[in-house]
């Protein structure tokens, strides 16, 4: 496939080559009053959720790093899976609106911008519907040229919550354009939309920022749209945090604020961290219906809605551990010895893989610099003596 933008800019988060220096994400400590740990024990062993945890997670605990070694191996066989039939006509016609040249947006599930008579109705975003009918909109981090499209989506769909799972810059590379002013002046205009900070930022966790924004459309008689912006900036691309509590809190908070309106969630490409996040909601609902549901089927369903959903073994493992944490917070399983053993296993796996892959990335970058220096040297004309 021919690339339509600069090759460096167009490498997606799914590129197997390292894209950023790996650093271990420290466990997020809760502030006073936000502790969700519940030591109450309720006999819920007959619930579908408890059955799933027992058969799919606890039963596999044996040697070190299991069941997460099994989960990692399972993902390797699923990594390249995609639906057999889909089209991406709108994506091809709007190449300049795509952050990455290889992250296609399916026509079958793409979000069509409303009230765009005579103008482009495309945005790289996909509808993701949950078993209970709740809808999420998974999208890429806006480009500078698509920020107005992003706010049009928020305004026209009357979005109440935006979940951001990346930083604007990561290791000096733009992952998302600044679509609201996080510092300095309180308001900024993007095309026909004026966005201002309505209330002061609060931080319930050290890696999560919560801000309330107000979106006003030029020459509109309708009242401004008020949006809560939840920003998790402690989730390293391709990897995952060692503590699931902040992510589960963020998901539950977003769901509690929205009612029946869709929730917008994005990272950079809108497929890795984003689909893992949405996948927690989807998987928990499927498990409630059927304790024998396989996580490969969950992954297939996510990818039928948003291509290439979940990018790495660690993200897939994180999805599993977030599900267990969700059930524990709901008192569907006890925080007993097995729970702690599984959590410790997960943390060990994350730290081990981050350390191992971090060293691999260092070697990759060193080799890349050496290659570039050699190519630059060859390109320079030799001086005549």
> Which pLDDT score is estimated for 171?
86
When pLDDT is cut at 50, 70 and 90, the band that residue 259 belongs to is confident
The conformation of residue 55, written as its DSSP 8-state character, comes to I
Please give the residue that has the higher pLDDT: either 45 or 322.
322
Between these two residues, 62 and 204, which has the higher pLDDT value?
204
Percent of the chain with pLDDT over 90: 66
Residue with token string 């975003």: 125
User: Six-digit token pair at 156?
Assistant: 């026209």
* DSSP string of 307-349, one letter each residue: TT---SHHHHHHHHHHHHHHHHHTTSS--SHHHHHHHHHHHHH
Q: Is the pLDDT of residue 260 over 50?
A: yes
Which pLDDT does position 42 carry in this prediction?
45
Look at the alpha carbons of 181, 185, 189, 194 in this order and tell me if their dihedral is positive or negative: positive
CA distance 44 to 331: 8
138: helix, strand or coil: strand
* Domain segments of the chain as ranges: 26-358
Question: Strand 208-217 and strand 193-205: pairing?
Answer: antiparallel
Amino acid 12: pLDDT:
46
**For residue 309, is pLDDT > 90?**
yes
Query: Of 46, 62, 73, whose CA–CA distance to 295 is shortest?
Result: 73
Cite the DSSP H helix spans in the chain. Answer: 7-10, 48-52, 68-78, 89-93, 147-156, 245-258, 273-289, 295-305, 313-329, 337-379
How deeply is 66 buried, as exposed, middle or buried, from its count of CB atoms within 10 A (0-12, 13-18, 19+)? middle
**Distance set, CA 26 to CA 150, 187, 242 (Å):** 31, 33, 7
Element (DSSP H or E) covering residue 135: strand 135-139
With contact defined as beta carbons under 8 Å apart, do 106 and 86 qualify? yes
Tell me the per-residue pLDDT of 127-184, one tens digit each, with 9 for 90 and over: 999 999 999 999 999 999 999 999 999 999 999 999 999 999 998 899 999 999 987 6
Per DSSP, what are the bridge partners of residue 163?
A: 230, 265
Bridging pattern class, strands 122-129 and 208-217: unpaired
Say which range, 45-49, 59-63, 74-78, 127-131, has the weakest mean pLDDT.
59-63
What are the residues whose beta carbons fall under 8 Å from the beta carbon of 139, sequence distance 6 or more? 111, 123, 124, 125, 126, 150, 153, 264, 265, 266, 270, 274
Q: Whose CA is closest to 303, among 34, 151, 78?
A: 78
Of 13-17, 313-317, 377-381, highest mean pLDDT: 313-317
Task: Specify the pTM.
Answer: 0.82
Question: What pLDDT is attached to residue 369?
Answer: 58
Q: For residue range 41-51, what is the model confidence (pLDDT) as tens digits? A: 444 568 999 99
Identify the pLDDT of residue 297: 96
Whether the predicted pLDDT of 90 surpasses 50: yes
Q: Specify the pLDDT at position 63.
A: 62
The predicted pLDDT at position 83 comes to 93
Is residue 98 classed as helix, strand or coil in its secondary structure? coil
Q: Give the tens place of pLDDT for each residue, 287-301.
A: 999 999 999 999 999
Better-predicted residue by pLDDT, 258 or 384: 258
Mean pLDDT for the stretch of residues 96-122: 95
Work out the average pLDDT over 245-267.
Answer: 96
How do residues 178-230 score in pLDDT, each as one tens digit?
999 987 677 999 999 999 999 888 888 989 999 999 999 999 999 999 999 99
Average pLDDT of every residue of the chain:
85
pLDDT of residue 158: 95
Architecture of the domain defined by 26-358:
Alpha-Beta Complex (3.90)
**Which token pair is 238?**
């391709």
Which pLDDT value is given to residue 352? 85
Number of residues assigned to the chain: 385
SS3 content of the chain, % helix, strand, coil (to 5): 40, 15, 45
d(CA 267, CA 287): 26
The lowest-confidence range among 20-24, 217-221, 325-329 is 20-24
Q: In angstroms, rounded to a whole number, what is the distance separating the alpha carbons of residues 141 and 265?
A: 9
Cα–Cα dist 254/76, whole Å: 31
Between residues 384 and 70, the one the model is more confident about: 70
């Amino acid at each position: 496939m021919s690339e339509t933008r600069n090759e460096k800019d167009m490498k997606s988060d799914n590129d197997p080559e390292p894209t950023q220096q790996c650093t271990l994400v420290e466990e997020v400590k809760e502030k006073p009053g936000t502790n969700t740990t519940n030591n109450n024990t309720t006999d819920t062993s007959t619930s579908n959720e408890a059955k799933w945890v027992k058969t799919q997670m606890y039963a596999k605990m044996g040697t070190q790093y299991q069941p997460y070694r099994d989960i990692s191996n399972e993902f390797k066989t699923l990594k390249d899976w995609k639906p057999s039939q889909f089209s991406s006509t709108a994506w091809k016609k709007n190449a300049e609106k795509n952050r990455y040249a290889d992250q296609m947006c399916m026509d079958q599930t793409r979000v069509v911008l409303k009230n765009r008579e005579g103008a482009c109705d495309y945005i790289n975003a996909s509808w993701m519907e949950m078993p209970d009918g709740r809808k999420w909109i998974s999208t890429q981090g806006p480009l500078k040229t698509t920020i107005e499209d992003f706010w049009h989506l928020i305004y026209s769909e009357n979005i109440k919550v935006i979940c951001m799972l990346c930083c604007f810059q990561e290791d000096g590379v733009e992952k998302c354009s600044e679509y609201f002013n996080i510092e300095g002046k309180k308001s900024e205009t993007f095309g026909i939309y004026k966005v201002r900070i309505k209330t002061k930022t609060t931080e319930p966790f050290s890696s999560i920022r919560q801000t309330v924004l107000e979106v006003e459309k030029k020459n509109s008689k309708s009242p401004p749209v008020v949006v809560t912006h939840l920003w998790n900036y402690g989730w390293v691309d391709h990897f995952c945090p060692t503590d699931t509590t902040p992510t589960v809190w963020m998901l539950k908070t977003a769901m509690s604020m929205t009612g029946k309106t869709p929730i917008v969630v994005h990272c950079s490409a809108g497929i890795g961290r984003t689909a893992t996040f949405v996948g927690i909601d989807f998987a928990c609902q499927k498990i409630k219906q059927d304790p024998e549901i396989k996580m490969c089927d969950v992954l297939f369903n996510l990818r039928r809605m948003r291509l290439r959903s979940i990018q790495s073994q660690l993200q897939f493992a994180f999805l599993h551990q977030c599900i267990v944490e969700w059930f524990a917070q709901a008192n569907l399983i006890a925080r007993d010895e097995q729970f702690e053993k599984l959590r410790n296993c997960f943390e060990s796996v994350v730290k081990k893989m981050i350390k191992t892959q971090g060293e691999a990335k260092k070697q990759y970058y060193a080799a890349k610099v050496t290659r570039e220096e050699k190519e630059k040297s060859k390109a320079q004309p030799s001086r005549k003596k």
